[in-house]
Amino acid sequence: WVAASFTKQQFPLVRLSSDSAAPRTPHFDVIVIGGGHAGTEAATAAARCGSRTLLLTHRVDTIGQMSCNPSFGGIGKGHLMREVDALDGLCSRICDQSGVHYKVLNRRKGPAVWGLRAQIDRKLYKQNMQKEILNTPLLTVQEGAVEDLILTEPEPEHTGKCRVSGVVLVDGSTVYAESVILTTGTFLRGMIVIGLEMHPAGRLGDQPSIGLAQTLEKLGFVVGRLKTGTPPRIAKDSINFSILNKQTPDNPSVPFSFTNETVWIKPEDQLPCYLTHTNPKVDEIVLKNLHLNSHVKETTRGPRYCPSIESKVLRFPNRLHQVWLEPEGMDSDLIYPQGLSMTLPAELQEKMITCIRGLEKAKVIQPGYGVQYDYLDPRQITPSLETHLVQRLFFAGQINGTTGYEEAAAQSLALSPRLECSGAGVIAGINASLRVSRKPPFVVSRTEGYIGVLIDDLTTLGTSEPYRMFTSRVEFRLSLRPDNADIRLTLRGYKDAGCVSQQRYERACWMKSSLEEGISVLKSIEFSSSKWKNLIPEVSISTSRSLPVRALDVLKYEEVDMDSLAKAVPEPLKKYTKCRELAERLKIEATYESVLFHQLQEIKGVQQDEALQLPKDIDYLTIRDVSLSHEVREKLHFSRPQTIGAASRIPGVTPAAIINLLRFVKTTQ
Ligand code: FAD
């Protein structure tokens, strides 16, 4: 950690708007800095909510660039994508238009943990994303590097907090806005590393962001350092695929977006992936050349779940590691070797790669490299991603310590609706922000979505290594499934935030009522187990002969689906087989019906704790009305939890402290 040593009194180091002679135009409701996966979602969501939005980014031609792997989704990440889509976000729809190999992971487990994943055509994704961004009403896109923030003097009613009111670009020009969202990814003091060479860059070919990093530090934000890396890219025609294990895509393809019934390309036209493995020769090259590999020697934390080949060899010696050879696009000559992220000197990378089966003649077209960058301790932001230190300044994406396109996109979706509700400038005009500020914030809780879990983990626990989403982080996995993200979030997104289109809302309403009706009909059809046996001979029902069995319970059996059930009992079930998605979702609902009953009781308990709001202006360091240890006071002061539930998840905040806080909240309410 780099300890922050600046105080609010030192703000003049950062520009104050009263000092600036620059004209107060142009003026936007929202400025989003960064056109990566967080920035594109944040900018379009803010515009969808009705804000005049400016997306400021280094280069328009890198908007939507996938810095590393040419794939989206996977276990846990696929859930985030469905939730982003449920809030009308972009990435899922764009993936349905740009994939080259669609596969659902974890199929052998239940649908609650299936992981939708696709290999994506990099070029196509960027093209489709740029088309969408450049055609979004209310959204202006401008190239430029932001160097500094413009702050206004603290507002008296906000206990001395200053407020962001615009940005300063590298050429000295200024742009003003009601709120500013920082989504600068790996660019804050970014340093690229290959072998012993290090040079400043946000990613290969892009300048780092140094002025902005200094500004944030001067403001008193606690800054940490993380690292990540990417593998070399290999010429496709130099690989001997014929001796490798081939993986074909799913048939049919499952789309990411609720609005799509299918993806843009037929399964038979999609591209395969291939599997190979490392071997002891790879270990030998890594171990012999550690002295030439400064990224590996660095003590900064890298991604635990997407480690470099060097970290894998050091942590798990003498093991064979999987290497997936993944296409970079339909007409790309490059292959991405997933599992071989490395920072060896460029000349040794090809030597190592050619030791691997199928890659004996491989040609490296672009070397792998590492990147080290600043991130901001996410305990410095609220669940709506607004910073504690500066009003109307929001952080989203890798800047908050996460890794992955999906994690970045998900955060941005969560914050944009909040902007509208907070009155942080999304509704046009100065008076509009005052008008809407009376609305409550839009926060997704842990009981409602993976987005809620992601943000709650970050804001209450912080992170000391790149954070990625997993199903295991989620307490209520059986309720928070990829299939029902629309029911969980689309309706709220429409009513509470205004970020969801009418068409999507109506579709989600139709699905919700059809599911409810279908479940109720399935519950009402009851026969004896022997009658069911006659109707559907392939099912063997294990229940007492005397008790009638509901159609909903028969649907739980693996060998039964809505089609077989409707064949047995055409009326009234036939109509539920007309929509494929509805039929599949009824089957999933039936599978989880009994376990969900118990989970819903637990969810209610958690929601009660979440409903107990802690006062926003409480000064934990000095307050005398509640008995708390000094350590607990410091932890609460830093994280500023908004509810009793969030406070209880902060490590070191004891059950006794929670009881005292609870008493305090009850006396103040
Ligand atoms: P980015 O996608 O990095 O976008 C940041 C944007 O901000 C860029 O458009 C940049 O131009 C702009 N910007 C920055 N500073 C300024 C400024 N001052 N003014 C204007 N514009 C600015 N994720 C994985 O899931 N798996 C991996 O294996 C993986 N490996 C990675 C390897 C490398 C080398 C890198 C760089 C990233 C890797 N990632 C990986 C992470 C993944 O790319 C990010 O998590 C994701 O892109 C983060 O999205 P973001 O929007 O926060 O930032």
Nearest CA to ligand 1 atom 30: 68
pLDDT at 305: 67
Nearest CA to ligand 1 atom 46: 405
pLDDT at 662: 84
CA 627 to CA 313: how far, in whole Å?
50
The answer to whether the CB of 642 falls within 8 A of the CB of 661 is no
pLDDT at 664: 82
Shortest-distance atom of ligand 1 to CA 211: 18
Per-residue pLDDT tens digits for 250-272 = 999 999 999 999 999 999 999 99
Long-range CB contact pairs, 283-290, < 8 A, 24+: 283/313, 283/317, 283/318, 285/344, 285/348, 285/351, 285/352, 285/355, 286/310, 286/313, 286/314, 286/344, 286/352, 287/313, 289/344, 289/345, 289/348
Residue 666: burial class (beta carbons within 10 Å; 0-12, 13-18, 19+):
exposed
Considering only 83-92, 352-361, 427-436, which range has the smallest mean pLDDT?
427-436
Distance 203 CA to ligand 1 centre (A): 8
The answer to whether the CB of 465 falls within 8 A of the CB of 228 is no
Res. 617 pLDDT band, cuts 50 70 90: confident
pLDDT at 391: 86
Per-residue pLDDT tens digits for 531-543 = 998 899 888 877 6
pLDDT at 544: 63
Res. 22 pLDDT band, cuts 50 70 90: very low
Percentage with pLDDT > 70 across the chain: 89
Question: What's the whole-number average pLDDT of the chain?
Answer: 87
pLDDT at 545: 61
Q: Is 149 close to ligand 1, i.e. is its CB under 6 Å away?
A: no
pLDDT at 350: 95
Per-residue pLDDT tens digits for 107-116 = 999 999 999 9
Can you tell me which residue has the tokens 């305090």?
Answer: 664
pLDDT at 63: 97
Shortest-distance atom of ligand 1 to CA 306: 28
CA 202 to CA 213: how far, in whole Å?
12
Distance 174 CA to ligand 1 centre (A): 24
Q: Is 213 close to ligand 1, i.e. is its CB under 6 Å away?
A: no
ipTM: 0.98
Shortest-distance atom of ligand 1 to CA 62: 9
Average of per-residue pLDDT across 181-209: 93
Tokens of 644: 């009793």
Considering only 139-143, 311-315, 513-517, 518-522, which range has the smallest mean pLDDT?
311-315
Query: Residues 502, 507, 508, 513: what is their CA dihedral angle, to the nearest 10 degrees?
Result: 120
Residue 291: burial class (beta carbons within 10 Å; 0-12, 13-18, 19+):
exposed
In the predicted structure, residue 370 carries a pLDDT above the cut 60:
yes
Distance 184 CA to ligand 1 centre (A): 7
Average of per-residue pLDDT across 588-603: 88
Distance 421 CA to ligand 1 centre (A): 28
Considering only 202-216, 361-375, 407-421, 611-625, which range has the smallest mean pLDDT?
407-421
The answer to whether the CB of 403 falls within 8 A of the CB of 466 is yes
pLDDT at 88: 92
pLDDT at 382: 86
Shortest-distance atom of ligand 1 to CA 56: 20
pLDDT at 268: 97
**Cα 118 to the center of its chain, rounded Å:** 16
Q: Which residues in 278-426 belong to E strands, given as ranges?
A: 322-327, 334-338, 364-366, 369-376, 390-391, 393-395
Q: The pTM is what?
A: 0.89
